[in-house]
């Protein structure tokens, strides 16, 4: 890949993924129940080797994977991404035993993973976590903890098989006192309930009533959990941007086809200057977002020091761009795009959430500003 274009092999692979998403995965997604984990879809992602790619790919390849799947089947893209988000801390910071037990099941689509960071009072301000981990057995170092509190807006909850959970253990103030744990869903004291959200995949609330965890459940070291979370988010934020670019490109292509064929005012819509200029703007913004996403992924793969800034920029621009492109695509299609089941009706519902999750747009701007002034 150059700074401006993908190589021929990459383009071919992306084309194969788009076709696979439309032909093989879209039918499985359509059979799923909104707000529930689609386990047949996850199993198919495992059988096709796509979940394996989440854990063996660099950031750029992950972006190409997510963008291409999003173009043809957003549900498949999201199912794949959530497996990666929930299990990446296990890959990077888990013990050999944790990795050996959970990662083969995640890669096969048999075990559902979830990333449990957000709380009712700590969404974008992840360092303000209140879920408390109190030392069990009289506070002895080296012993276990009891988790008490809530997590909220957790994707795949309450249906996940295990959760990467971030709790306050108190080694220091703010981010310095957060620890990451791997918590199986059947752990005593852990319960959950689904939330009725504008989302095709499950999002729920988790309650921790003295949930026992021990040293064997640690992901990394005590007090270093915030680093585990940020390591995961720095990788996945550019690929959230790739997800958004995939949706924008699907909306743009649908708009080009529609405006080239739809007859109005003695010609086709695309002949109208106002329409042509709108489509040109949509295409330009989509291309700019795509290039920024690829640049951020390339910086991550190269180990650059400015990854947090680049990741935030890519996530910000791509998700805001996708919202713009899908909204204008709906406008240019007219009432037909509002029919239930239309591609753009689907994208219009899907495109809103990425501007919030994994750090809202305002948080991305804060990160960018801090990095610039550092």
**pLDDT tens-digit profile, the chain (374 residues):** 555 678 899 999 999 999 999 999 999 999 999 889 999 999 999 999 999 999 999 999 999 999 999 999 999 999 999 999 999 999 999 999 999 999 999 999 999 999 999 999 876 676 688 999 999 865 555 679 999 999 999 999 999 999 999 999 987 777 788 999 999 999 999 999 999 988 878 999 999 999 999 999 999 999 999 999 988 988 898 999 999 999 999 999 999 999 999 998 899 999 999 999 999 999 999 999 999 999 999 999 999 999 999 999 999 999 999 999 999 999 999 999 999 999 999 999 999 999 998 889 999 999 999 999 98
> Does some domain include residue 151?
yes
**CATH code, domain carrying 334:** 1.20.140.10
| Segment 53-58 long-range contacts (CB within 8 Å, at least 24 positions apart) | 54/80, 54/81, 54/83, 54/84, 55/84, 55/87, 55/88, 55/91, 55/103, 55/107, 58/297, 58/300, 58/301
pLDDT at 173: 72
**126 in the same domain as 93:** no
Q: Do residues 174 and 239 touch, judged by C-beta distance below 8 A?
A: no
Please tell me the total count of domains within the chain.
Answer: 3
Among 287, 358, 362, 371, the active-site one is 358
Which pLDDT value is given to residue 2?
53
Q: Is residue 2 part of a domain?
A: no
Identify whether residues 234 and 159 lie together within a single domain.
no
Distance CA 95, CA 82 (A): 21
CATH of the domain at 99: 1.10.540.10
| 3-class DSSP string for 146-167 | EEEEEEEEEECCCCCCEEEEEE
Residues 347 and 257 in one domain: yes
Q: Report H helices in 191-224.
A: none
**234 is a domain residue:** yes
pLDDT score, position 126:
65
Q: What is the CATH number of the domain that holds 163?
A: 2.40.110.10
Q: CA 199 from chain center: how many Å?
A: 13
- pLDDT computed for residue 124 by the predictor: 65
Tell me whether residue 275 is exposed, middle or buried, using C-beta atoms within 10 angstroms of its C-beta: 0 to 12, 13 to 18, 19 or more.
middle
> Is residue 216 in some structural domain?
yes
Structural domain span for residue 249: 227-373
pTM score > 0.85 for this model? yes
Query: Of 184, 202, 222, which closes a domain?
Result: 222
* pLDDT in the model for residue 273: 96
Which of 176, 200, 222 lies at the terminal end of a domain, its last residue?
222
Q: What is the pLDDT of residue 140?
A: 53
**Are residues 267 and 364 located together in one domain of the fold?**
yes
Are residue 282 and residue 299 in the same domain, yes or no? yes
CA distances from 61 to 77, 242, 300, 309 (A): 14, 10, 11, 20
Active site residue 358: yes
Residues 146 and 210 both lie in one domain: yes
Please check whether residues 216 and 237 belong to one and the same domain: no
Judge if 101 and 152 occupy the same domain: no
Is 368 found in the same domain as 233?
yes
Whole-number pLDDT of residue 234: 86
């Amino acid at each position: 890949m150059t700074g401006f274009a993908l190589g021929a092999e990459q383009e071919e692979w992306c084309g194969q993924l788009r076709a696979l998403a439309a032909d093989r995965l879209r039918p499985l997604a359509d059979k799923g129940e909104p707000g529930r984990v689609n386990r047949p879809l996850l199993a198919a992602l495992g059988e096709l080797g796509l979940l394996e790619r989440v854990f063996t790919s660099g950031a750029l390849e992950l972006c190409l994977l997510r963008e291409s799947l999003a173009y043809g089947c957003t549900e498949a893209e999201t199912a794949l991404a959530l497996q990666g988000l929930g299990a990446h801390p296990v890959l990077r910071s888990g013990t050999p035993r944790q990795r050996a037990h959970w990662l083969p099941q995640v890669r096969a689509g048999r075990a559902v993973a979830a990333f449990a960071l957000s709380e009712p009072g700590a969404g974008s301000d992840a360092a303000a976590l209140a879920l408390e981990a109190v030392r069990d057995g009289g506070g002895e170092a080296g012993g276990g903890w009891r988790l008490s509190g809530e997590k909220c807006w957790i994707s795949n909850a309450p249906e996940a098989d295990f959760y990467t959970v971030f709790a306050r253990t108190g080694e220091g103030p703010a981010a310095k006192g957060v620890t990451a744990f791997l918590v199986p869903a059947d752990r005593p004291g852990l319960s959950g309930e689904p939330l009725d959200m504008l989302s095709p995949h499950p999002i729920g609330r988790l309650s921790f009533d003295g949930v026992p965890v021990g040293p064997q459940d640690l992901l990394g070291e005590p007090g270093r959990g915030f680093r585990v979370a940020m390591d995961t988010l720095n990788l996945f934020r550019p690929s959230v941007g790739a997800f958004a670019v995939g949706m924008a490109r699907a909306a743009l292509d649908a708009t080009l086809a529609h405006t080239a064929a739809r007859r109005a005012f003695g010609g086709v819509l695309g002949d109208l200057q106002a329409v042509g200029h709108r489509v040109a703007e949509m295409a330009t913004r989509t291309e700019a977002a795509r290039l920024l996403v690829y640049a951020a992924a390339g910086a991550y793969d190269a180990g650059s020091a400015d990854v947090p800034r680049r990741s935030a920029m890519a996530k910000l621009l791509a998700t805001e761009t996708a919202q713009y492109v899908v909204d204008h695509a709906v406008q240019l299609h007219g009432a037909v795009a509002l029919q239930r089941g239309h591609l753009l009706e689907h994208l219009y519902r899907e495109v809103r959430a990425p501007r919030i999750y994994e750090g809202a747009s305002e948080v991305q701007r804060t990160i960018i500003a801090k990095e610039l002034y550092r």
